[in-house]
């Protein structure tokens, strides 16, 4: 463990023990360094690292504060980390597998908790997808919003943050699919209609099955195109 890592761990320990609770202000840098027995440079580097990790927030001219430490804040950087993964087909398939493991289960939970208002929001994105059949980019925007609204209905912030992080990358897969397959819009809308119908019926088992079918369909398409080496290159993917 490097000296900076040790410094980071010391500050984390202050947070874990409650000496620095959520929302609290850290001592000035010289005092923090003295309290932890560190040089000011090490204390500064540790604070920077924890700020990147969303554990601390540096407010210029005011000081450094512990964030709310809520899942939505701490996991906010996941999407950015996922984007830095090696941009190859294998990494994308790994992410699709994670999505396949999590999203159907989340959809099943949503079926038992979704409110009428939330259901209306989900239907709004479904209707928008129907209207955007000929516009792949817009279709994908509402596709992503549809899934976010479903997971939001679970009321589980950690699950939402995790799936948002994964879907940021898999959104490209949906764009590729739409560009390569002229029939994808019809199939995509039909798959989402099945998910919505199951949610409206508050049927957890059917909701999970419909979501699994949808995610698996995209994953299978990717596998087939990877095997035929017809998937767009990482360069074109990053621009999509």
| pLDDT band, residue 240 (cuts 50/70/90) | very low
Higher pLDDT, 183 or 186: 186
Residue with tokens 């700020």: 51
Asked whether residue 43 falls in the same domain as residue 140, the answer is no
Mean pLDDT rounded to a whole number for the chain: 86
**Does the structure show a pLDDT above 80 at 180?**
no
Instruction: Identify whether residues 55 and 137 lie together within a single domain.
Output: no
Q: What is the number of structural domains in the chain?
A: 2
Say yes or no: 34 and 139 in one domain: no
Residues 116 and 225 in one domain: yes
DSSP letter for each residue of the chain: --HHHHHHHHHHHHHHTTSS-TTPBPPPHHHHHHHHT--HHHHHHHHHHHHHTTSEEEETTTEEEE----HHHHTTTHHHHHHTS--SHHHHHHHHHHHHHHHHHHHHHHHHH--HHHHHHHHHHHHHHHHTTT-HHHHHHHHHHHHHHHHHTTT-HHHHHHHHHHHHHHHHHHHHHHHH-TTHHHHHHHHHHHHHHHHHTT-HHHHHHHHHHHHHHHHHHHHHHHHTT-SPPHHHHHT-
Per the model's pLDDT, the better-predicted residue between 179 and 222 turns out to be: 222
Q: What band does 82 get if pLDDT is binned at 50, 70 and 90?
A: low
Query: Residue 185 has what pLDDT?
Result: 85
| Helix-helix angle 157-180:136-152, to 10 degrees | 160
Rounded to an integer, the average pLDDT of 69-73 is 79
- Residues 57, 156 within the same domain: no
Q: Given this model, what pLDDT does residue 5 score?
A: 92
Q: Range of 17's domain?
A: 3-69
If you average pLDDT over each of 125-139, 193-207, 216-230, which comes out highest? 193-207
Q: Which two tokens stand for residue 168?
A: 């940021």
Nearest to 146 by CA among 100, 220, 214: 214
35-60 mean pLDDT: 92
CA 106/CA 99 separation, integer angstroms? 10
Query: Residues 176, 116: one domain?
Result: yes
Neighbours of 42 (CB within 10 A): 19
* Per-residue pLDDT, 234: 39
pLDDT of residue 84: 59
Over range 217-237, report the average pLDDT.
65
Q: 113 and 217: one domain?
A: yes
- Boundary (domain end) residue, out of 16, 34, 69: 69
Structure-block tokens of residue 18: 């409650």
Burial of 31 (C-beta count, 10 Å sphere; 0-12/13-18/19+): exposed
Q: Is the domain of 90 the same as that of 201?
A: yes
- Residue 162 in this model has a pLDDT that exceeds 90: no
Q: What is the pLDDT of residue 148?
A: 94
* Digit-coded pLDDT (tens) for 90-117: 777 888 888 999 999 999 999 999 999 9
58 and 83 share one domain: no
84 with 182, same domain? yes
What pLDDT, on a 0 to 100 scale, did the predictor assign at position 172?
A: 66
């Amino acid at each position: 463990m490097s000296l900076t890592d040790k410094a980071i761990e010391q500050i984390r320990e202050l947070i874990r023990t409650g000496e620095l609770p959520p929302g609290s202000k850290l001592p000035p840098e010289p005092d923090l360094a003295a309290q932890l027995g560190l040089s000011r440079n090490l204390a500064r580097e540790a604070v920077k690292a924890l700020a990147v990790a969303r554990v601390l927030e540096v407010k210029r001219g005011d000081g450094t504060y512990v964030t709310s430490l809520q899942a939505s804040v701490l996991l906010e950087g996941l999407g950015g980390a996922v984007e830095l993964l090696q941009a190859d087909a294998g990494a994308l398939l790994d992410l699709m597998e994670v999505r396949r493991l999590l999203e159907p289960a989340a959809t099943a939970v949503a079926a038992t908790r979704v409110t009428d208002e939330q259901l209306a929001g989900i239907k709004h994105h479904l209707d928008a997808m129907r209207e955007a059949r000929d516009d792949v980019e817009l279709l994908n925007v509402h596709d992503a919003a549809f899934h976010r609204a479903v997971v939001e209905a679970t009321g589980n912030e950690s699950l939402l943050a995790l799936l948002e992080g994964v879907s940021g990358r898999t959104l490209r897969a949906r764009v590729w699919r739409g560009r390569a397959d002229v029939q994808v819009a019809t199939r995509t809308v039909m798959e989402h209609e099945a998910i919505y119908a199951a949610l409206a019926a508050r049927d957890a088992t059917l909701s999970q099955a419909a979501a699994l079918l949808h995610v698996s369909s995209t994953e299978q398409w990717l596998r087939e195109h990877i095997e035929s080496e017809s998937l767009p290159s990482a360069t074109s993917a990053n621009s999509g």
